[in-house]
Structure 1
Amino acid sequence: MNQEYITAHPWSIIEEGFDQELVQSSESLFSLGNGAMGQRANFEEHYSGETFQGSYIAGVYYPDKTRVGWWKNGYPEYFAKVLNAPNWIAIDISLNGQPLDLAQCKKVDHFRRELNMREGWYKRSFVAILPNDLEIAVEVTRFLSLDLDEVGAIQYTIQPLNGGADVMVTPYLDGGIKNRDSNWDDKFWNITGVTSEENRAFVESHTMKTHFKVCTFMQSELYVDGVKVDENLAGKKDETSVGHTYSVSIKKDETLTLIKYGGYTVDRNHPADQLQEAANKVLDQASKLGFETLLQMQKEAWAQIWEMSDIAIEGDVKAQQGIRFNIFQLNQTYLGRDSRLNIGPKGFTGEKYGGSTYWDTEAYCLPFYMATKNQEVAWNLLEYRYNHLQKAIENAEKLGFKNGAALYPMVTMNGEECHNEWEITFEEIHRNGAIAFAIYNYHRFTGDYSYIPKMGMEVLIGIARFWRQRVNFSEEKQQYVMLGVTGPNEYENNVNNNWYTNYLAKWCMEYAAEQFQIVSKAYPEDYQRIVSKVKLTSTEVEDWKQVAGNMYFPFSEKHQVFLQQDGFLDKELVRVQDLDKSERPINQKWSWDRILRSPYIKQADVLQGFYFFEDHFSQEELERHFDFYEPFTVHESSLSPCVHSIQAAKLGRMEQAYTFYLRTSRLDLDDYNKEVEEGLHITSMAGTWMSIVEGFGGMRVMDNVLNFTPRIPEQWESYAFKINFRDQIVTMTVSTQGTAFTVSGDKAMTIQVDGKPLQLMPGETVHA
């Protein structure tokens, strides 16, 4: 099966030709979202072939009971499922008594899909010969409104090409849906009401256990050659679905057009007893504006997003398509309007992984949102974690930690841990460090310290207390060690002294102590409130510093590198390039036992630490560690290639950096991991943005100044991006001829380029 079937185009994702083997992959790749809801690119009409139905509502989940062979203390009670929601897009169509079903047609020609990323719409068109020999042309346009984010809109047109047709069109809502990944085949939804009013319909339901109340709604209008058809509307209704059937006869070459608006109102945003009323209001708004006006508003809303977040590449269409696809999906998933929401690893494109929040948000996504949005968006992401602090303390208590120690969850919806593989749930505790680092990173980038005394200090104290209790003093080494952990490289489980985790623990305790001193002097009221609330003393803070200063780090004198963990050199150190290609990917070809005994690295571990804390290490140290670990890295995590791309660029190895960039940017488009039908890798897409901005552009913040070290892959003629740095928009353009900068607004700005200061004046282009 050819997975590289997407046509290269700078602004669109295009598929040409109908291949049933590719339907589920395309359902992922052509997904739509607007931050509040999302929809896989399922066909509106019935399809009897293999399909993965998926409609999703932000923040709505089901606590599917954990399924494990045997129980361990501290196990989460449930695994939070991203819920397949009632389906609002469905439209049954029959022509001369024959249902339209692309899996059953005699022939499907001119099949084409386009996801227009510049304007935020999805279009599908084809010519089909039905089993009854009727030939029809179909064109469908769909989008999820950014302006009315509870509404999606569909325009579905049919034209008979070789004779007239009696057509029955039935737009409907389907509440009888289920999740593909249910552990116990539980019923996730309870339908409480199915109603129909003229050309509108509603399915009211709530999730079992969590009791999120949702009203799924629709409205439809039918036109023949632009003239509205009002008669012949019949109701269709059962216990889980409701719709309307239009019966109309059309002549050869006449065009039948159905307009359907649909979506969800949720009790997260409306009073629970007024969801249908809220649905009627939003349908009033949508229908008053009409499809074309809503579509025009959609184009304008996306133009505004692209104005700030676009990265333009000249000379390499596949690289250009890749980065825009990544930026588009990040914006479809999260727009920063609601601090109760976060960025799930599959976004609105699939069910895998469960939960809406991983450490990916803090480690990979925050830089993208800080630089391409206003700082309130990044603040909302940090506030999300502050709001979950009490749950993080409860998570730690379940594992035996005391005194307000906080362990943030590996996977969560509401702050509770809901990941149930013990070697990750209990041991992949480095996630705590990523959250502390995000607080530091936010202050470093925005210059806004206010989050720390208001919220962040309490988070840092909880995290520091966790690390202090998690380490123990080794009499043998006369240093503090950390036993039984899993680093980002999940191909080494339950190891001792994972360097990355130990380094994060040391840094977190020192950083928390440093912020404690600053807050005590500069924010006395906050200091008193915090100390009183968490019962913190200066003696405890001094203890953190003492422990941090005496942490053990495994090191090889022979190789002059920090070791991933104590036993790394005991492994048989066969490089990836010496593995038979038929053995790859090892996570699909090898037993777990064999993987754990191998030297192979799923994703950067030591190098992840060198990425976070690059100013703690010299260029020579980075080069030595990169050269030691890269040959053992299989990059079977979507989060891996971007870090290696950034570091290869820093080392001046542009061909290698470019190869890693292409892999991260086209991970889903070219389906490197042969799993795109399960959904897209949303959080790693932010790493693609980092590969260009921090890798090729060399963007860093040092001493409150924006720094750049521009480089360009030889495959490119130029690239350009914008950074919103402390409310000043800097545009950087790098070409084979040189580098140019502009700054918007009315204030001058000093940046550094290749280590030298450069003065930017508003309205002027300055060449470096």
Structure 2
Amino acid sequence: MNQDYIQADPWSIIEEGFDREQVKSSESLFSIGNGAMGQRANFEEHYSGETFQGSYIAGVYYPDKTRVGWWKNGYPEYFAKVLNAPNWIGINISINQEPLDLNSCKKVENFRRELNMKEGWYKRSFVATMPNGLEVAVEVVRFLSLALDETGAIQYHLQILNADVEVSLTPYVDGGIKNMDSNWADKFWNITNIASEGNRAYVNSHTMKTDFSVCTFMQANVFVDGEKIEEAPKVEQTETLVGHTYSVKVAKNETITLIKFGGYTVDRNHPKDKLMEAANKVLDKASSLGFDALLQKQKESWAQIWEMSDITIEGDVKAQQGIRFNIFQLNQTYLGKDSRLNIGPKGFTGEKYGGSTYWDTEAYCLPFYMTTKNQQVAWNLLQYRYNHLPKAIENAEKLGFSNGAALYPMVTMNGEECHNEWEITFEEIHRNGAIAFAIYNYYRFTGDYSYIPKMGLEVLIGIARFWHQRVNFSEEKQQYVMLGVTGPNEYENNVNNNWYTNYLAKWCIEYAIEQIGEVAENYADDHERIMAKTKLTEAEIKDWAKVAANMYFPYSEKHQVFLQQDGFLDKEMIKVQDLGKTQRPINQKWSWDRILRSPYIKQADVLQGFYFFEDHFSKEELERHFDFYEPFTVHESSLSPCVHSIQAAKLGRMEQAYTFYLRTSRLDLDDYNKEVEEGLHITSMAGTWMSIVEGFGGMRVLDDTLNFEPQIPEQWTSFSFKINFREQIVTITASKEGTFFELTGNDTLTIKVNGKFVELIPGKRITA
């Protein structure tokens, strides 16, 4: 049974009623971020129940020493951790000396949370009866500013409903924070200074080992029925914490309001010795605007984001809520402003996966950012990988590769591999192919070739060298084989000749050779520079070509399908439909040994290849492979349902495509995998976007032309989205009556709809 307490609403995530069992799940679901930082939806006031405290700063990490029982050569020395950062949201409240704590209250009524995705704010309200019998009404609004992305704002309203009382409020900044997922319980932060000036307070600290310096700051003001309390607060300070206590006497039903600004200044953006100065400048800007004006700017900023990235669905509120939740969280995580940053699978919502960069960015996220923003955002994501090329070469050298072969990391913060499971670190090498595919995909969509001669060709050469060295020639098969790998389907480790990995290797080599020729012909200076830098020779290129032309692919004549890997048909081929529901999810019910011997697929391997290289295969081949593999797929990877949704739509199986879409779009809202309390699945949310745009919208770029083959699920009245294609905005609306296109730009644009050319004219609505 999936969770169902989140109410269906087109623009908001809403929870009504206080349930202690849901607190950690809701902390994930109501998370907020602004690209520079983010935080789980922890309560501002103290909460003694089960909670997962989490605040995170983009790009700030700690290299936690790898914890393995048996060290092997080539193991990464550390597992990078996104750090749980000092907490600035805290506000301790006591009423007649009784702490306000929802876990100990006699009664909590009218509890409601709302995450307003349209305007970018989070609100919580409740009426609680405290152990001393006092009735308290609270309403809190919080947001992380897009306009001033180093700060956030809290407006905390409090009323006592049944007595005149003394209320004590202590807004604070706490640097004594630990990660839940520390391998060795290391101390991640070292506090260097705690300071208080007037109504402002600061904790200066730096990370151990990586030495990121951060100033966590706050400013608070208290009002009673709109009148500001002028008395100076009492300063409360410990070795890790600084707070300001305001004690006020209030009559029944009077409203106390605390306005708090807080956030982080980081030495990634400011000189180390100027962080407090930078914090004061931010606070000056925030306080001069005030809470209401800053909130208005937040609404305007989000309106601008939604103007381009929104997908509207008529007739299906749960589907509408699902896609907007996914789009909202993607934009909260990454806005494309900084090429030093990337998109972690949990974003700012939890600690799992280390908050690091995976192949998800290139395989799933790039299309979303490339089409809903401008091509500079996609360029920044590609530049991130080019900047890490020296580390990718180092990673390969550690495993015994040479001559500039590059192995991009499975998990990274700085380009260095930091994943500590050997079957993934050493063997899930398909991630190299996703990097190369992203370069191809960027050019295919934008038409901008300049990245390849400037940066991309060096990346492609390093990747081709890796694949050339990773294969070996099988005398028995008289072909090149690849041994000991793990594909995207992590439920099969250390296999030989994973079809997806072999196919990627062949394609990468051929694509690299093709681009070397293209650059030689049209960018002679770049070609000369790159050949000299990489010491690449014609003889080496010929050796690559020989490997690509003679790659082995396992194939079943009986089933007429490519096999996931050698020996796949030796398994006991029991389909998922014949597996008892009590056995699911198998990753929580079965031993790893049993999973590895089963035919069950965590996410598609072969079908992932058919998704990337759709134009290499016929529709009949896709159908045959889809029908063979989908019945064995348990979809226990967040990246699985979206690819299946797109392919089901291509095959005209709209009911199945719709079912997969709902699963990917509401994966976290409905907690399909029973793990949402650990954080959200951010990168797979880009796959949800693809399910609509590429699945139901049928969008492709073929022969340098934008193509659409729209289909509409029976449950929907219509759907609409926008695409930024080469600096021209195309709006597509599909309904039961037909499909309509509108073009915003200066020039006409010729597209293809269901195989026929259609000319779009700016400002004119075209029916196709």
Q: Could you tell me the TM-score, scaled by structure 1's length?
A: 1.00
* SS of aligned partner of 1:184: coil
Counterparts of 1:281-680 in structure 2 under 5 Å?
281-680=281-680
- AA aligned to 1:344 is G
How much does 1:458 deviate? 0.2
Q: Is the 8 A contact 1:264 1:279 kept in 2?
A: yes
Q: Is the 8 A contact 1:232 1:248 kept in 2?
A: no
Q: Is the 8 A contact 2:740 2:766 kept in 1?
A: yes
How much does 1:355 deviate? 4.2
Q: Does 1:67 align with 2:67?
A: yes
Residues in 2 aligned to 1:526 and 1:148: alpha-carbon distance in whole angstroms? 40
How much does 1:232 deviate? 5.0
* SS of aligned partner of 1:354: helix
Q: Is the 8 A contact 2:81 2:356 kept in 1?
A: no
State the partner residue of 1:244: 244
Residues in 2 aligned to 1:753 and 1:366: alpha-carbon distance in whole angstroms? 24
State the partner residue of 1:189: 189
- AA aligned to 2:151 is V
- AA aligned to 1:469 is Q
* SS of aligned partner of 1:132: coil
Residues in 2 aligned to 1:9 and 1:515: alpha-carbon distance in whole angstroms? 48
* SS of aligned partner of 2:463: helix
Residues in 2 aligned to 1:374 and 1:651: alpha-carbon distance in whole angstroms? 31
Residues in 2 aligned to 1:761 and 1:376: alpha-carbon distance in whole angstroms? 25
Q: Is the 8 A contact 1:355 1:418 kept in 2?
A: no
Residues in 1 aligned to 2:691 and 2:402: alpha-carbon distance in whole angstroms? 40
State the partner residue of 1:713: 713
State the partner residue of 2:111: 111
State the partner residue of 2:216: 216
Q: Is the 8 A contact 2:3 2:671 kept in 1?
A: yes
State the partner residue of 1:9: 9
Q: Does 1:231 align with 2:231?
A: yes
* SS of aligned partner of 1:353: helix
How much does 1:746 deviate? 2.2
Q: Is the 8 A contact 2:2 2:672 kept in 1?
A: no
* SS of aligned partner of 1:290: helix
Deviations 1:6-52 (A, max 9, x none): 00000000000000000000000000000000010000000000000
Q: Is the 8 A contact 1:355 1:411 kept in 2?
A: no
How much does 1:2 deviate? 6.8
Q: Does 1:50 align with 2:50?
A: yes
How much does 1:172 deviate? 0.2
How much does 1:96 deviate? 1.1
Q: Does 1:87 align with 2:87?
A: yes
Residues in 1 aligned to 2:541 and 2:257: alpha-carbon distance in whole angstroms? 69
Q: Is the 8 A contact 2:28 2:680 kept in 1?
A: yes
- AA aligned to 2:430 is H
Residues in 1 aligned to 2:62 and 2:197: alpha-carbon distance in whole angstroms? 30
Residues in 1 aligned to 2:434 and 2:746: alpha-carbon distance in whole angstroms? 36
Residues in 2 aligned to 1:691 and 1:538: alpha-carbon distance in whole angstroms? 42
How much does 1:491 deviate? 0.5
Q: Is the 8 A contact 1:699 1:707 kept in 2?
A: yes
Residue-pair matches, total: 768
Q: Is the 8 A contact 2:347 2:355 kept in 1?
A: no
State the partner residue of 2:766: 766
State the partner residue of 1:121: 121
Residues in 2 aligned to 1:291 and 1:165: alpha-carbon distance in whole angstroms? 27
* SS of aligned partner of 2:741: strand
- AA aligned to 1:725 is F
How much does 1:269 deviate? 0.3
- AA aligned to 1:529 is R
How much does 1:543 deviate? 1.6
Residues in 2 aligned to 1:748 and 1:250: alpha-carbon distance in whole angstroms? 66
State the partner residue of 1:41: 41
Q: Is the 8 A contact 2:199 2:232 kept in 1?
A: no
Q: Is the 8 A contact 1:506 1:548 kept in 2?
A: yes
State the partner residue of 1:148: 148
State the partner residue of 1:29: 29
Residues in 1 aligned to 2:177 and 2:619: alpha-carbon distance in whole angstroms? 54
* SS of aligned partner of 2:416: coil
Q: Is the 8 A contact 1:232 1:247 kept in 2?
A: no
Deviations 1:39-85 (A, max 9, x none): 10000000000000000000000100000010111000000011000
- AA aligned to 1:171 is P
Q: Structure 2: which 5+ runs fail to align?
A: none
* SS of aligned partner of 2:688: helix
- AA aligned to 1:492 is E
Deviations 1:529-582 (A, max 9, x none): 100101001221122112101100000000000000001010010000000111
How much does 1:272 deviate? 0.5
How much does 1:703 deviate? 1.0
How much does 1:165 deviate? 1.5
Deviations 1:438-494 (A, max 9, x none): 000000000000000000000000000000000000000000000000000000100
* SS of aligned partner of 2:276: helix
* SS of aligned partner of 2:142: strand
State the partner residue of 1:165: 165
Residues in 1 aligned to 2:581 and 2:485: alpha-carbon distance in whole angstroms? 30
Query: Which shows bigger deviation, 2-11 or 324-333?
Result: 2-11
Query: Which shows bigger deviation, 244-253 or 500-509?
Result: 244-253
Residues in 1 aligned to 2:486 and 2:41: alpha-carbon distance in whole angstroms? 36
* SS of aligned partner of 1:385: helix
Residues in 1 aligned to 2:614 and 2:532: alpha-carbon distance in whole angstroms? 36
How much does 1:225 deviate? 0.7
- AA aligned to 2:12 is S
Residues in 2 aligned to 1:30 and 1:736: alpha-carbon distance in whole angstroms? 34
Deviations 1:229-258 (A, max 9, x none): 111511111110001000101111110000
Q: Is the 8 A contact 1:697 1:711 kept in 2?
A: yes
Residues in 2 aligned to 1:543 and 1:475: alpha-carbon distance in whole angstroms? 17
How much does 1:264 deviate? 0.2
How much does 1:675 deviate? 0.3
Deviations 1:477-528 (A, max 9, x none): 0000000000000001000000000000000000000000000110011011
Q: Does 1:98 align with 2:98?
A: yes
Deviations 1:573-593 (A, max 9, x none): 000000011111000011101
Q: Is the 8 A contact 2:346 2:355 kept in 1?
A: no
State percent identity of aligned pairs: 81
State the partner residue of 1:683: 683
How much does 1:729 deviate? 0.1
